[in-house]
């Protein structure tokens, strides 16, 4: 009798939980500790400052030898992409955050050199990920240096991104070359995080077309991704010719009806941000519903499982990256809704990751955050480190410890 990979994935997950959170050297010694009460701000602040200092120390040791873009770890060492793949912006992004936190000039120098390597990608019309690539790198470089070349490059990247807009369906297609019919109607939740590059372009050029497309895409995503219970699929497919909705699907989640936790986190952060740029109250409501569902599925350790609705959830492998991404969105939500429980939840997540998911027990590790899962269905990057986890951990901590510094990097203002 043949056994599907999906069946093996599900049964193996239960076995993995039975023997511990991870068998990798970086995380084998990690145990779940009690998460501090966020009302004890002194304790939370101390934990987060120690985590930020650890992340900066790790970058201080590793970054001078990095000449490409980290995409994930193998045996605790970074593997690289020369052109940045979709994650290239997170390396210069976390170097900028390390500079803001530490004031050490070497991080600024390294951030500029790394961002420069992304220059060819500003004309890339084959990906929706130009926001991930250019916001934390080039937009932040412009905000922190004032050099107009970074702003011009980010605007060019936005111009490339809007070429992927499908006016019939009012969405930005996720994957594939513009002349490739495969995936022409495929939309993914991750794209919500690429929309802020378009908002930036409209703000700088006074041309509304970029933000208009971002808003149209967000409304399409809001209408089709959000389920009644506040969960969401990873993918939604449309007929690319007519724009008619076909239905939910997934690539990185367990199934079309499950809820991939990192996608849910992209939604929390992305819908909150597009609300800040437009003032549209419905976007804030959507972000709250996504957040409320995710928070209802967190277990006592406050580190998200890789898919909230997979059969082995909540007793399954973790994805710390989903936690730190969502924490950044929750801090925004707390400010915009004046509901402190979102900030409390963000602090619990950030302190939990800081206490139970860092690589402090390993002498080999080149990253800061362990216990991340890239693509569980493909058994690709399970219990590894990922560059966006390191980036959003630093961003979240900086938002808590020194919000004005975070604002300098990423613009936390609202319309």
CA-wise closest residue to 234 among 248, 246, 224:
248
Which residue bears the tokens 């010694």?
29
Which two three-digit tokens encode residue 239?
Answer: 């007929």
166: β partners: 171
Torsional sign, CA 37, 41, 45, 47:
negative
Which two three-digit tokens encode residue 218?
Answer: 């967000």
Mind giving me the DSSP string for 291-356? HHHHHHT--TT---BSBTTSTTTTSS-B-HHHHHHHHHHHHHHHHHHT-HHHHHHHHHHHHHHHHH
CA-wise closest residue to 216 among 237, 181, 187:
187
Rounded CA-CA distance 332/187 in Å is: 25
Q: What share of the chain is helix, strand, coil (3-state, %, to 5)?
A: 55, 10, 35
Catalytic residue numbers, as ranges: 129, 190
Mind giving me the DSSP string for 85-143? TTTTTHHHHHHHHHHHHH--HHHHHHHHHHHHTTGGGGG--S-STHHHHHIIIIIHHHH
Which residue bears the tokens 């080039």?
138
Rounded CA-CA distance 227/249 in Å is: 13
CA-wise closest residue to 175 among 252, 277, 275:
252
Tell me the chain's radius of gyration from C-alpha atoms: 20
Cβ partners under 8 Å of residue 65, min gap 6: none
Parallel, antiparallel, or unpaired for β 372-375 and 380-384? Answer: antiparallel
Rounded CA-CA distance 306/96 in Å is: 28
Rounded CA-CA distance 343/345 in Å is: 5
The answer to whether residues 55 and 98 touch, using CB atoms and an 8 Å cutoff, is yes
Distances (CA, A) of 203 to 77, 206, 208: 39, 5, 8
């Amino acid at each position: 009798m043949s056994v599907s990979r999906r069946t093996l994935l599900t049964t193996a997950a239960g076995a993995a939980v039975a023997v511990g959170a991870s068998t990798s050297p970086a995380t084998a010694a990690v145990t779940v500790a009690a998460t501090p009460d966020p009302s004890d701000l002194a304790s939370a602040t101390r934990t987060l400052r120690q985590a930020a200092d650890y992340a900066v120390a790790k970058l201080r040791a590793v970054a001078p030898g990095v000449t490409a873009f980290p995409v994930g770890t193998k045996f605790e060492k970074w593997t690289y992409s020369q052109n940045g793949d979709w994650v290239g912006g997170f390396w210069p992004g976390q170097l900028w955050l390390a500079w803001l936190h530490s004031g050490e000039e070497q991080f600024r120098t390294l951030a500029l050199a790394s961002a420069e390597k992304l220059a060819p990608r500003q004309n890339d019309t084959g990906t929706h990920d130009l926001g991930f690539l250019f916001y934390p790198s080039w937009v932040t470089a412009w905000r922190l240096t004032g050099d107009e070349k970074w702003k011009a490059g980010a605007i060019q990247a936005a111009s490339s991104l809007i070429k992927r807009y499908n006016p019939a369906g009012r969405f930005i297609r996720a994957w594939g070359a513009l002349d490739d019919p495969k995936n022409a109607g495929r939309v993914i939740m991750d794209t919500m995080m690429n929309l802020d590059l378009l908002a930036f372009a409209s703000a700088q050029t006074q041309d509304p077309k970029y933000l208009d497309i971002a808003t149209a895409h967000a409304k399409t995503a809001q209408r089709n991704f959000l389920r009644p219970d506040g969960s969401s699929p990873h993918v939604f497919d449309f007929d690319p010719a007519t724009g008619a909705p076909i239905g939910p699907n997934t690539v990185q989640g367990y199934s079309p009806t499950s809820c991939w936790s990192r996608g849910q986190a992209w939604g929390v952060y992305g819908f909150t941000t597009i609300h800040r740029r437009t003032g549209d109250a419905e976007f804030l409501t959507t972000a709250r519903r996504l957040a409320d569902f995710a928070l209802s599925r967190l277990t006592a350790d406050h580190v998200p499982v890789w898919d909230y609705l997979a059969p082995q959830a909540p007793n399954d492998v973790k994805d710390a990256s989903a936690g730190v991404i969502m924490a950044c969105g929750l801090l925004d939500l707390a400010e915009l809704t004046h509901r402190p429980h979102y900030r409390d939840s963000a602090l619990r997540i950030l302190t939990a990751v800081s206490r139970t998911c860092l690589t402090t027990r390993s002498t080999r590790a080149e990253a800061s955050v362990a216990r991340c899962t890239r693509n569980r269905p493909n058994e690709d990057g399970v219990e590894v480190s990922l560059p966006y986890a390191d980036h959003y951990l630093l961003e979240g901590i900086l938002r808590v410890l020194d919000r004005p510094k975070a604002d300098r990097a990423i613009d936390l203002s609202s319309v």
